[in-house]
Structures are given as C-alpha cells and as structure tokens.
Amino acid sequence: MKGHKVSVDRELCYGSAECVHRAPAVFAFVDGFGAVRPGHEEAGDAPEVLEAAEKCPSQAISIAVTDAPSSPDRP
Ligand code: SF4
C-alpha cells in the first residue's frame, strides 16, 4: 500500500488560507502561512486534501506518493 505525504512549500505559499478552510483537520495557519498539522502528513489521499492541493492559488501544496502506508483509519 502506498502513502500519500502532503506538504506545503512556504517559499510558494502566500497565506491565502484557502487550504485551512477546505481541510481544517489537516491544514493550519501558522505564522501567516498554510501548514500541515503534525500527525496529518500522510493524509494526502483524503478528498478534501486533494481538492485543497488542486485549488491552492500558488500551487504550494504537494502530495507525494510514498511506500509508507496511508493513515491506519483509511482502507
Ligand atoms: S491555499 Fe496555498 S497559498 Fe493558501 S495558505 Fe494554503 S498553501 Fe498557502
């Protein structure tokens, strides 16, 4: 099973906070930038996270497919 690691590139993010509104369980607003909440780095396969990545106006959100398993509560 593959994992889906989500991350925010602070160099690209300009702090629109749209990701926080779309997926508040995964993204937080920290020091004026979007950030992945600790413990949610592998939530990149959640629909709301995929949507947040697609709709990020600066394309600062990346989802990398890894060999690590997805969140244990997801099939
Ligand atoms: S939606 Fe994109 S630009 Fe806006 S805070 Fe999130 S990562 Fe940053």
Report the C-alpha gap between 59 and 19 in whole angstroms: 11
SS3 (DSSP) at 65? strand
Q: Which atom of ligand 1 is nearest to the CA of 58?
A: 3
Q: What pTM did the predictor assign?
A: 0.87
Distance 10 CA to ligand 1 centre (A): 9
Residue 37 in this model has a pLDDT that exceeds 70: yes
Q: What is the average per-residue pLDDT within 46-73?
A: 88
Q: Is 20 left (phi over 0), alpha (psi -120 to 50) or beta?
A: alpha
For the chain, domain boundaries? 3-66
Question: At residue 74, does pLDDT exceed 80?
Answer: no
Q: What is the CATH code of the structural domain delimited by 3-66?
A: 3.30.70.20
The CB-side HSE value for 36 (13 A sphere, CA atoms) comes to 20
For residue 68, pLDDT beyond 90 = no
Residue 35 reports pLDDT greater than 60: yes
Pocket of ligand 1 (CB under 6 A): 8, 13-19, 34, 56-58, 60-61
pLDDT of residue 59: 98
